[in-house]
């Protein structure tokens, strides 16, 4: 069975009326034909039976089934293998973890602020479950710190941004775009926040993820890498969500909208390259300054093509870390029985996995055009 996705036209849903939705609005109208993602007249009732944005309901189901608990993954073995890290690997481990902590912390703070303006309950549901998943990720990092580092060192890792100017710069880049919308919630600032969200979800995490996979390929902190892979599985669905939001509120035929998306992606790629060269350089086996740049420009191209803004960097057509994908997929299937066993009673589960694998590969739900309403 294939899913039918009714993709609305670009730009629909964005209105000048950027007021926070009411908790309950007795004069609202949630009929699908009247529903808007932003600026709609919602009742505040989560009517998920009749929806306008069918992609949101389908994506919500995928995200709901992707539930896991960090403490289910034992890090006992990693307490030993972390001692085998070289000094450069250990320092990179701490810096990478500190940055990932900052990213998910910002997401937890920002998502409910944006959700306050979302007037389609099926889209609001995605924001809610994404915020929950980001908190699970924060819990995961805390669990790693608790199991692998002494108490004082944990606090230092949380505060690395205070002493590392580059990390502070990176945190500020996204946070300031989010804060701009929070301080002045206009349609244009919402677009800036969505573009920043797409860059964060689509670019910022993955070079750090690959670092952990490189270590695991040499049997170092392998269970940390398993947890990182579960986080990545979540992040791929977040990329899909941002892709659909971009297509709801941006007009790619408008030069200003097009430039906002491409400039934000490029800024994220360039900052990630600078960061990767700083904390990994040529000091980590399997990672070099060249592979860092090649990978991130390739990834930038993939994300840009996904949203329809074309190639950002000519000549970057190959993923230099593609050899890691086989092990990641193997681990993905290895843990399904344990980690997702409670989801087998959910209606449609038999159809779930091929859709999930598709989203892992492509970053968006499979689309089948139909003339049916």
| Structural tokens at position 5 | 């996705």
Name all domains of the chain by residue range, CATH numbers in brackets: 32-362 (1.10.620.20)
- The pLDDT score that the predictor gives to residue 18 is 80
Tens of pLDDT along 123-146?
999 999 999 999 999 999 999 999
Question: How do residues 208-245 score in pLDDT, each as one tens digit?
Answer: 999 999 999 999 999 999 999 999 999 999 999 999 99
pLDDT of 5 strictly over 70:
no
Give the pair of three-digit tokens for residue 242. 């941002």
Catalytically active residues are: 141
Lowest mean pLDDT among 6-10, 107-111, 161-165, 205-209: 6-10
User: What pLDDT was estimated at residue 48?
Assistant: 94
pLDDT(350) > 90:
no
CA distance 32 to 108: 29
User: Which of 115-129, 169-183, 347-361 has the least mean pLDDT?
Assistant: 347-361
Angle formed by the axes of helices 352-362 and 54-65, nearest 10°: 100
What are the distances in angstroms from CA 28 to CA 20, 41, 185, 210, 224?
Answer: 14, 5, 21, 47, 47
- How far is Cα 170 from Cα 275, in angstroms, rounded to an integer? 8
How far apart CA 117 and CA 10 sit, in angstroms, is 19
Say what the alpha-carbon torsion angle 257, 308, 239, 58 is, to the nearest 10 degrees: 110
What pLDDT, in 10s, does the model give residues 174-214? 999 999 999 999 999 999 999 999 999 999 999 999 999 99
Banded pLDDT at 362 (limits 50, 70, 90): low
Contact 23, 119 (CB under 8 A): no
pLDDT of 335 over the 90 cut: no
């Amino acid at each position: 069975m294939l899913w039918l996705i009714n993709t609305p036209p670009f730009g629909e849903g964005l209105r000048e009326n950027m007021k926070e939705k009411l908790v309950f609005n007795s004069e609202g109208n949630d009929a699908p034909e009247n529903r808007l993602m932003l600026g709609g007249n919602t009742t505040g009732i989560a009517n998920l039976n009749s929806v306008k944005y069918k992609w949101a309901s389908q994506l919500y189901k995928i995200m709901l089934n992707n539930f896991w608990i960090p403490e289910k993954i034992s890090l006992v073995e990693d307490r030993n293998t972390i001692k085998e890290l070289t000094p450069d690997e250990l320092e990179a481990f701490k810096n990478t973890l500190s940055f990932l902590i900052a990213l998910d912390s910002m997401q937890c703070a920002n998502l409910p602020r944006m959700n306050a303006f979302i007037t389609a309950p099926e889209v609001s549901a995605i924001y809610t479950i994404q915020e929950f998943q980001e908190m699970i990720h924060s819990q995961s990092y805390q669990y790693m710190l608790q199991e692998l580092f002494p108490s004082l060192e944990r606090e230092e890792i949380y505060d690395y941004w205070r002493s590392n100017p580059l990390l502070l710069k990176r945190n500020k880049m996204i946070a300031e775009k989010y804060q701009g919308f929070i301080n002045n919630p206009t349609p244009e600032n919402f677009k800036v926040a969505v573009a920043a969200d797409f860059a964060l979800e689509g670019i910022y995490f993955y070079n750090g993820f690959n670092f952990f996979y490189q270590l695991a390929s040499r049997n170092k902190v392998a269970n940390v890498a398993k947890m990182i892979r579960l986080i990545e599985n979540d992040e791929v669905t977040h990329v899909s969500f941002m892709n659909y939001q971009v297509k709801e509120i941006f007009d790619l035929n408008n030069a200003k909208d097009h430039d906002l998306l491409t400039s934000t992606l490029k800024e994220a790629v360039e900052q990630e390259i600078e960061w990767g060269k700083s904390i990994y350089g040529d000091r980590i086996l399997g990672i070099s300054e060249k592979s860092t740049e090649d990978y991130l420009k390739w990834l930038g191209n993939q994300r840009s093509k996904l949203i329809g803004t074309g190639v950002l960097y000519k000549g970057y057509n190959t993923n230099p870390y593609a050899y890691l994908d086989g092990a990641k997929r193997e681990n993905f299937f290895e843990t399904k029985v344990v980690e997702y066993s409670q989801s087998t009673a959910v209606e449609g589960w038999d159809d779930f996995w091929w859709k999930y694998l598709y989203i892992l590969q492509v970053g968006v739900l499979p689309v089948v055009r139909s003339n049916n309403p």
